[in-house]
Amino acid sequence: MIDKIQQCEKNVLSFIFDDNKNTVEKFRLDFLSKKGEVSLLFDSFKLLPPVDKKKYGEMLNDLKKLTLDTVTNNHSKNQQQQGYNKKLFPTYQNNPGSLHPIRIVEEKISSIFLSLGFDYAEAIEIEDDHHNFSALNFKEDHPARDMQDTFFIGLNMLRTHTSSVQIRELKKGVLPLRIIMPGRVYRNEDISARSNCFFHQLEGLYVDKKVTFADLKQTLFYFVQQFFGEGTKVRFRASYFPFTEPSAEMDIWAGIDTEENKKLTKGTGWLEILGCGMIHPNVLTACNIDSNVYNGFAFGMGIDRIAMLKYKIHDIRDMFTNDTRLLSQFTGV
């Protein structure tokens, strides 16, 4: 695998561009299309055992970044070299595009867990009661089933969390299982500066024999150090979720050195960023998995909230207004 990655990197670096915009498109097709070299390497990556995914995941992400940067840089250079005849064409602002802040954060989080051997998993957004609630150990009278929390579509609903993907993957019966599940979710909530009726989550799931809470804590501690920076303090607080037992919420230390941080943390200095816990035996049983043999952990975080924290965005609505004054501040790195 490493030879293929290194050879692909050489091919990217040695590709010859000229003033013709068609060469940029040829580069994109050769490396980033569905059958391109980089895309095929990611397809092969999915088939590797977990121990090798941890070894090669970061190398592949670096290769993809190099390839995307090469496309962007040469496209911009090509535009500058060609120029526009302003006497013949109307003048428009020609700013280079960038990834959305939520996408940037999602890819950064995903790359960290991919380096630990996790895989991707996705599923449908319109779910049934079994996958969204019942199999996740939600009782019939749980308040999350009420109309004020869930958008119902006949007998089905818009998923309220990406935990429904866990059920679909667990029912495949392929164990051990180590996956992350990013995606959009929906809840019937009032729209404000801090909440929206749709948002983005990323959940993680690890099922194997003899998994411990210590495994969960170390995995999340590693994530925090990689994403927020070495030395970031964390703490775990006991909590409750129907699908995990024991359950916890994890906070990071934001500090109280500024008025902004005091307001953000309500004067405590601690900010909750995710929920987690050991998978409830009832969830495994609902997926036809013997909970006496297998166990595991799960965690979930709001990508929107972490993006707001990382980029100091104070109103969640700003990220969905398509205001280029905000979005043009970000780059796809």
Tokens 């037992």 belong to: 245
Cα 121 to Cα 42: distance, rounded to the nearest angstrom: 14
In what helix (H) or strand (E) does residue 105 lie, and over which residues does it extend?
helix 101-114
pLDDT computed for residue 332 by the predictor: 47
Of the CA atoms within 13 Å of residue 76, those in its CB half-sphere come to 10
Mapping DSSP to helix (H, G, I), strand (E, B) and coil, where does residue 274 land?
strand
**Is the whole model's pTM more than 0.75, yes or no?**
no
Give the pLDDT of residue 111.
92
Query: What digits encode the pLDDT tens for the residues 24-51?
Result: 778 878 888 878 888 888 888 777 777 7
Q: How much is the pLDDT for 89?
A: 44
Query: Which segments in the chain show pLDDT lower than 70?
Result: 19-21, 75-97, 147-148, 331-333
Q: Torsion angle, CA of 76/77/80/81, rounded to 10 degrees?
A: -150
Cβ-proximal residues to 6 (8 Å cutoff; 6+ apart), any chain? none
CA 101 to chain centre: 12
Q: Measuring CA to CA, which residue among 13, 108, 10 is closest to residue 70? A: 13
Partners of 271 in beta bridges: 252
Peptide bond connecting 143 to the previous residue in cis, omega within 30 degrees of 0: no
Identify the pLDDT of residue 197.
87
pLDDT at position 195 is: 75
